Structure 1
Amino acid sequence: MSSIALVGNPNTGKTSLFNTLTSSYEYVGNWAGVTVEKKVGSLKNGAGKLIDLPGIYSLHPLSRDEGVAAQYLIDESPEALVNIVDASQLERNLLLTLQLLEYGKPTVLGLNMIDVAKARGIYVNPEILQKHLGITVLPLVARTGKGSGQVLSILEKTSSIPAVTFKLHYGELVEQAIAAIQHELQQTADLPNHRWVALQLLEQNPVVLELLSKRINISRLLEICDTCQTELQNKKLALTLPQWIRSTRKEYIHSICLEAVDTTAQKPHNLTEKLDSILTHRFLGLPLFLVFMYAMFKTTFDWVGGPLSDIVDGWISGPISDSANSLLQTIGASGFTHALIVDGIIGGVGGVVVFVPQIFILFLMISFLEDSGYMARVCLLMDSTMERMGLNGKAFIPFIIGFGCNVPAIMAARSIEQPKERMLTTLLLPLMSCSARLPVYLLFAAVFFPAQQATAVMSMYVLGVIFALILCKLFSKHLFKNESSVFIIELPPYRMPQLKTLGRSTWEKGKGFLRKAGTIILAGSVIIWLMSYAGPTGFNVDMDNSFLAKFGGLIAPLLHPLGFGTWQAGSTLVPGFLAKEVVVSTMNIIYHTPDTAGLESQISQVFTPLSSISFMAFILLYIPCLATVGVIKKETASWKWTFFSMGYSLVLAYMVSFIIFQGGSLLGWS
C-alpha cells in the first residue's frame, strides 16, 4: 500500500484535508501547532495511507514536533507528497515548497484557503505556479471540502503523478559544494535524494547530521561545508551558508509571486486587522479576554448548562432509577445485586453523568474560541506576562488545551522550541483545571455559592493559572539554566466556525469524559461501593464500620488542618488519583443519596463555605491523575521529573489548602 505524506506550514488546513480524504477525525484548531505528531489514515478510495505530519515552516526543525516531520522524510520514503499552502500567505509558504521539491518525490501542491485570499482581494493564478514549479497545483477550500475530490482522484495512482524536475541554482560556489557532497554520498544507497541531502547538510540541518553520523563518517562532508563557508566569507558576503541558501530561495519565490499573485485589489484593512486593533490592544486585550471567559462560564453553569443538568439529574434519579428498581424486583435479584446496581453503579456513575451537559457546553464554547482564531491572540497577549515568569506566550496554548484534558495538553507542549520551556510547561500543566475536576467545583459551588457559581468555578481556573506562573518563575530560577526564548506564533485570520466542525470538535473532547464514565468511573464506583458494603465483621455493614471508613480514617487526621478531616473526605482523594471524576461518584456512594439535591444537602452539613474552598483548591492542585502521570513520564523520559511533578503538586495542594482554611479561620470566616 502506497504512503502519501501531507506536509505544510502550521495552520494551512492540512488536518482538515486529512479528515476529508480519510473520513477520520483529528483535532482541528485555528492556530499553529495543533498537530504535534504524525497521524495515519487510509484514503477513502483505498489507494493508500495518508500521513498527516506536524506543521513546519522549513525542514530545519526548531521544536520536537517539527523534528517529527523532518525525521519522517529522512527515515521513511513516501511515494508522494501533498504540500498544502495558504493562498493568502503564498510567498512565505513556498519556502517549504521548494525544499520539498528538492526532496525529489512526486508532489501535488494544494492551494488552500482561496476563499480567504479572495476575501482579502488576493488572486493566485494556479497555472503560472504550475508552470514555474513543474507540479500539479489544485485550488482548495479544505474546511468545506471544495477541491478535495480532485486531490483524492490524483492520489488514486501515485505512479501517475509527474516526477519532480525542479532544480534551483544556488551559485557556483554552493553548486560545487553540492556536487562534492553528492560524490561522497554516491555509495550510500539508503538515503533520500542526494542533492537534497547535500543541501540539508549545507544548511546544517541537525536531523540530517545526526542521521548521517550514524551511517557514515561525515568528517569529509563537514569539511566540504566549512570550505564553502570560508569561500563565501572570502567574497566578503555578509551571509552564512544557510542564509545564502535561504536568500536564494526567497529571491526565486518573490519572482514567482510577482507573476502569479495579483494584489492590486487587496484591501488595506480587512476585518482581522480591525478586530485585532481592539482584541489585541495593549491595555484592553486582557480585560476583554477575562470578560469573554466570565461570559463563557456564566453561560455554561448558570444560563444554559445548569438547567440542562437538572433535567439529566431528574431522569437519573427518576425514570432510570425507578425502572432499575422495578426490573430488579421483577427478576428477583438479591439484595446485594440490587444495592450494587442501584446504589453503586447508577448512584456512582449517575452522580458524574449529571454534569455532562455543562461539560459539553464548556467544550463547545472553547472550541468556538479556538476555531475563530481568537485563542492565538490570547497567546500573544500573554507573552509579556509569561516571559517575565520564564516562559513565552506559546506555552499558553497547552495551558488552554489543559482546560479540556491535561494529557493532550502535555503532548501539545512538543511545539515549544526550547527544551527548558518545554519541560517547564510539561511539569506545570497538571495545575490546569481539566474537565475531570469540573464536577467537584460544580457540586460545591451549587451548595455554597449558588448565586455566584460562574465566579466560583472561574476562580479555580484562574487559581491554577496563577500558581502555574508563580511556580514557573521559581522553577525557572532554581531548577533550569536561563536560556534565550524564541516566541514565534502565527496569527490566523478570524473566521466564523462551521457548525459541523464545532460539533465534531466538541464531541471529540467530550467523548473522553463519557468513555471514562463507562470504564474508570464505573469500575471505581463498583470498588468503592464494595468497600462501603463490606467491613471487618462481614457484609452489609454500617457505613461507619466499613473498609472504606477504615481506609478514609487513616488519612483524615492529616486533612484535619485543611478543614475537611473526615473519613468521608479522605476516602474520595485516593481513588481520585485514577480519575478526578471518581471523587464525586465516591461521594454519591458514601452519602447514599437518590439525586444531586440529596447529595448537596449532605455536603452542606459536612462542609462549610471556607472548608469547601479549601477542598476545591486541594482537588485542583493535588497529584495529577494516572493518565497524566503516564504521559509526563513518556514526554520527559524521566522518572525523576515524573515523581517530582507528583511530589510538588501534593505539597503545594496541602500548603494552599492549609493557608486558605487556617487563614480564613483566623479572620473569622466560616
Structure 2
Amino acid sequence: MYTIALVGNPNSGKTTLFNALTGSNQHVGNWPGVTVEKKVGSLKHKGAIYNVVDLPGTYSLGAYSDDELVARDFVVKGQPDVVINVVDATNIDRNLYLTTQLLEMGANVVIALNMMDEASMKQIDISIENLSRSLGVPVVPTVAARKKGINQLLDEVVNAISAGRKPSDIVYGEELDEKIMKLTEIINVREYQYPSRWIALKALEGDPEIKRLIADNKKAQEFISSISGEGTDLELDIIDSRYNYINKIVRASVKRPENEIVTTTDKIDKVLTSRLFGLPIFGLIMYIVFQLTFVIGSDFLGGYVESFVGMAGKGLSSLLISMNSPEWLVSFVIEGFIGGVGSVLVFVPLIMVLYFFLAILEDTGYMARAAYIMDSIMRAVGLHGKTFISMIIGFGCNVPGIMSTRTLENKRDRMIAILINPFMSCGARLPIYLVFIAAFFPNNGGLVLFIIYALGIAVALLMGKIFSKTLFKGESSHFIMELPPYRLPQASSVLRDMWEKVWDFIKRAGTVIFAVVSFLWILSVLPVGVEPYSQESILGRIGQFIAPLFVPAGFGNWQASVSLFAGIAAKEAVVAILGMVYAGVSEGTELITAIQSAFTPLSAVSFLVMTLLYTPCAAVIATVKKETNSWKWAAFMAVYPFILGWVFSVVVYQVGSILGY
C-alpha cells in the first residue's frame, strides 16, 4: 500500500483531481491535533492499492497559517511515497512557486499540469518535455474535470515510486548557496524531523516555525545573527531566487499569444464584479436562490416527506397498539420520536434544494466573486474579503466556517472572524425559519428567508467593526485572492457536495437530535402521575423558570423557552422540541397550527431574530475552545451572542408593538 499526497494552489483543480482518482472511496476527517479538514481516499492501479490524501490548498509552504503547516508537515513528516503537485496550466508562473518549495523539501514530485483545455482556449502553448526536463520531475497534462490524463498520471506515480526521491537542483546564486551550505553543516550535527538543508533555507528565510525549532542551537543562531548584521534581506533574496528560477523555466517552456486573449470570464466579470452592479447582482442571485428553494423544496417536494413521516407515525402507532405495547412506549415513539425528530426531517427537501443551488454557485466559481465583491464592505469594518469566505462556509455549518479561519494569516483577523461566524445562518437553523415562515409568511417565504440571512450578515459586520475598534485593534492583513474562471458546474460534484451536507443533517437528526429529544421527553413525562407535556412536568417547570426572561421579547411561554434551551445542544432541536411539546398539548394538531395559536406574527419575527443571533450550538462553542485554545473565548462565545440576541428580539417586539403590529 502506497501513499499519494495531493498538493496545489486553491482553484487549481486539486479536489476535482482527487475525486477523479478516488471516486466514492473517500472519507472526510480532521488532522490529528488540529481541526483543519482532510480528505482521504483510495484507488487501485495495476494491482497496487494507493491511499490518496488531499492536502489543504495553499500558495506556499510557509508557517503563516495552519493550512500551510499541515501541508508541509505531511510532506516531510508523513513521508508520502509520491506528491502529486497539481499545477494550473493557465497560471503556471505563480503555481510553480509552490513546486519549487516541494523540490526544496526533497519531495518525490509528479506534476499534474491541470486545466490544459483552458490553457488551449487561451492559446497558451506549453512544452511538456521542456518543462519536465527543466524541473527534473515528470509532468503529465490533465483535464481532471473530464478525467483526461488520469491513467498516464498514475503510471508516472508508479515510476516515481520505483525511482525514489531526487535531490533539489535549485540554484539560488553563489553567495546565497554558500550561506545555505554553511548553515546546513551547522544544523547537520543534530537530529531534526526535517531535512537539514531545508531547515537551513527556511531559517535564513525567517520562517517562524523553524526559528522556534532551532532556537536552542547556539551556533546556528550566531551564524544567522552574523548574516543579519550584513544588512541584507535574505527572505527577499530567496523569494527573488525562486522566481528567477521559475522565469527561466517558463521562458523555455511556455509560449503565450502576443495580445492577451479576452476570455468569457473576463467579459462576465466586467459586470458581475463591477463596483456599480456587483453587490446588487449578488443580492439578487441570493434572493432568487431562496425563492427557488421555497418553490421547489416546499411546493414541489415538501409534501412527499411530510406525507411519509405522517404515514410512518400512523403505521408505528397501529403496530405498537396491536402488540399491546405499554402506553409510555407509544407516547415516546409517536409524540417524542415522530413528533420531535420527524418534525425536523420534513424540512430535508428544502435544505436539499438550498444546498443544491449553493453548490452550483460554488462550482461555477461565483462564490469567490462574492468574497471579492464584499471586500470593500469588509474593509469598512476593519476586515477584508477573505474573511467573507469563512462566513459563506458558515452558511452550511458554523463549525467548518470557524475552522476555515485558519487560512487567515493575521491573528487579529482570525479572532474577529471566529467571533462573528455564528451569526451566519447555518443549515441547522433553517428548519426553525421554515416552520415559522410556513405558519405566518407562506406567501413571502423567499423574501423573509433572504432578510434573515441578510440580517445575520449585517450583525456580523457590525460586531466585526466593534471588535476591530475595541478588543482587537490594529490593521487587517492584505487581501490576495485568485478568481477562478467560470466553469459549467459538474453534476457529480454538485450532487456530491449537496448530499454530503444533507446526509450530515440527517445523521444529526438521527443521533444528536434523537438524544436531546429522548432526554427532554423523559423530563416531559416526569414526575410520575403528572399530565405529559404540561407545566407540572419537570420540563414544564424548567420552561416556566426560563420563560419570564423572554416576556419582553413577546414569547414568554414555557414551550418556546424550553426549545431555545434545547437549541444550545443543537439548533435542529428547537423544532424537534416544539414538535414534541405541542404534539402533546394540542392532541395531534399539526405543529404549524399549534405555533399559530401560540405566537403572533410579531412575536414570531422576534423569535426568529433570537434564533438567528443567540448562543450557537455546543459543537461551535467546543470548536472555538479548540481553535483559540482558551476557555475564556469559548465562554465569551456562549454569553455575548445570547445577550445580543435578547436585545435585538426585545427591540423588535417592543418597537413593533408601539407601531401597532
TM-score scaled to structure 2, two decimals? 0.93
CA drift at 1:96 = 1.6
The Cα offsets for residues 396-415 of structure 1, whole Å up to 9 and x where unpaired, read as 11111111111111111111
Residue 550 in structure 1 maps to residue 541 in structure 2: yes
2:556 corresponds in structure 1 to 565
State which drifts further: 383-392 or 331-340: 331-340
CA contact (8 A) 1:623 1:649 kept: yes
Select 1:612's aligned residue among 580, 595, 604: 604
Alignment of 1:391-406 (within 5 A): 391-406=383-398
Query: Using CA pairs below 8 Å that are at least 6 residues apart, which structure has the higher relative contact order?
Result: 1
Q: CA deviation at 1:613?
A: 0.5
Equivalent runs, 1:371-386 vs 2, <5 Å: 371-386=363-378
RMSD: 2.4
- Secondary structure of residue in 1 paired with 2:389: helix
3-state DSSP of counterpart to 1:7: strand
DSSP-derived class of the 2:144 partner: coil
User: Which residue number in structure 2 is paired with residue 587 of structure 1?
Assistant: 578
Query: Aligned pairs, how many?
Result: 652
| 1:231-269 Cα shifts (integer Å, max 9, x gaps) | xx5xxxxxx322222222222322222221232387621
Deviation at 1:27, TM superposition (A): 8.0
Q: How many angstroms apart in 2 are the aligned matches of 1:156 and 1:167?
A: 22
* Aligned counterparts, 1:333-372, within 5 A: 333-372=325-364
1:222/1:47 CA distance change after superposition, 3 Å: farther
Tell me by how many angstroms 1:38 deviates: 4.5
The residue type paired with residue 241 of structure 2 is T
Q: Deviations over 1:443-478 (max 9, x none)?
A: 111111121111111111111111111111111111
Q: 1:207 to 1:266 in 2, by over 3 A?
A: farther
Task: Report the counterpart of residue 452 of structure 2 in structure 1.
Answer: 460
Q: Is the 8 A contact 1:178 1:195 kept in 2?
A: yes
**Distance apart, 1:527 and its partner CA:** 2.4
Give the conservation status (yes or no) of the 8 Å contact 1:289–1:378.
yes
Partner of 1:144: 146
Any gaps of 5 or more consecutive residues in structure 2?
30-34
Task: Output the CA distance in 1 between the equivalents of 2:299 and 2:581.
Answer: 24
Query: Secondary structure, in 3 states, of the residue corresponding to 1:44?
Result: strand
1:247 to 240, 255, 270: 240
Whether the 8 Å contact between 2:583 and 2:589 is mirrored in structure 1 is: no
Q: Partners of 1:76 and 1:550 in 2: how far apart?
A: 55
Question: CA–CA distance in 1 between the matches of 2:168 and 2:587?
Answer: 69
Cα deviations across residues 511-554 of structure 1 (Å, max 9, x unaligned)?
Answer: 1110011111122222232322233x525546232222111111
What's the CA shift for 1:189?
4.3
- Please name the residue that 2:633 is paired with: 641
Q: Which moved more, 1:374-383 or 1:109-118?
A: 109-118
> Amino acid of the residue matched to residue 142 of structure 1?
A
Question: What is the correspondence of 1:401-550 to structure 2 with a 5 Å cutoff?
Answer: 401-535=393-527, 538=529, 540-541=531-532, 543-550=534-541
SS in 2 for 1:545: coil
8 Å contact kept, 2:429–2:572:
yes
- Pairwise CA distance, 1:324: 1.3
The match for 2:32 is none
Q: Which of residues 52, 63, 69 in structure 1 aligns to 2:65?
A: 63
Identity, in percent, stands at 41
1:368-411 deviation digits (Å, cap 9, x = unpaired): 11111111111111111111112110011111111111111111
Which is worse superposed, 629-638 or 113-122? 113-122
Q: How far off is 1:41 after superposition?
A: 4.0
2:303 matched to 1:310? Answer: yes
Q: Distance in 1 between matches of 2:84 and 2:587?
A: 54
Q: Which amino acid aligns with 1:563?
A: G
1:72 offset after TM fit, Å?
3.5
2:296 and 2:194 map into 1 onto residues whose CA distance is: 58
What's the CA shift for 1:211? 2.0
Q: Does structure 2 retain, via aligned residues, the 8 Å contact 1:352–1:584?
A: yes
**How far did residue 81 of structure 1 move?**
2.1
Residue 575 of structure 1: aligned partner? 566
Q: Structure 1 residues 472 and 128, CA, compared in 2 at 3 Å: closer, same or farther?
A: same
The change in CA–CA distance for 1:27 and 1:89 in structure 2 (over 3 A counts) is farther
Write the distance in 2 (CA, Å) between the matches of 1:150 and 1:62. 35
In the alignment, is residue 328 of structure 1 matched against residue 320 of structure 2?
Answer: yes
For residue 42 of structure 1, report the CA deviation from its aligned partner.
Answer: 4.1
Residues 399 and 432 of structure 1 are in contact (CA less than 8 Å); yes or no, is this contact kept in structure 2? Answer: yes
Corresponding residue number in structure 2 for 1:97: 99
Q: 2:122 & 2:436 partners in 1: Cα distance?
A: 49
Q: Provide the residue aligned with 1:260 in structure 2.
A: 253
Tell me the CA shift for residue 214 of structure 1: 5.5
**Aligned runs of 1:207-246 on 2, under 5 Å?**
207-213=209-215, 218-223=220-225, 225-226=227-228, 229-230=230-231, 240-246=233-239
Structure 1 runs of 4+ aligned residues shifted over 6 Å read 593-597
CA contact (8 A) 2:2 2:50 kept: yes
> For structure 1, which segment, 44-53 or 554-563, has the greater mean C-alpha deviation from structure 2 after superposition?
44-53
**Aligned residues of 1:410 and 1:632 also touching (Cα < 8 A):** yes
Distance verdict in 2 for CA 1:527–1:194, change over 3 Å: closer
2:575 partner amino acid: V
Q: Structure 1: which 5+ runs fail to align?
A: 29-34, 234-239
Instruction: Determine if the alignment matches structure 1 residue 14 to structure 2 residue 31.
Output: no
Is residue 2:294 matched to residue 1:301? yes
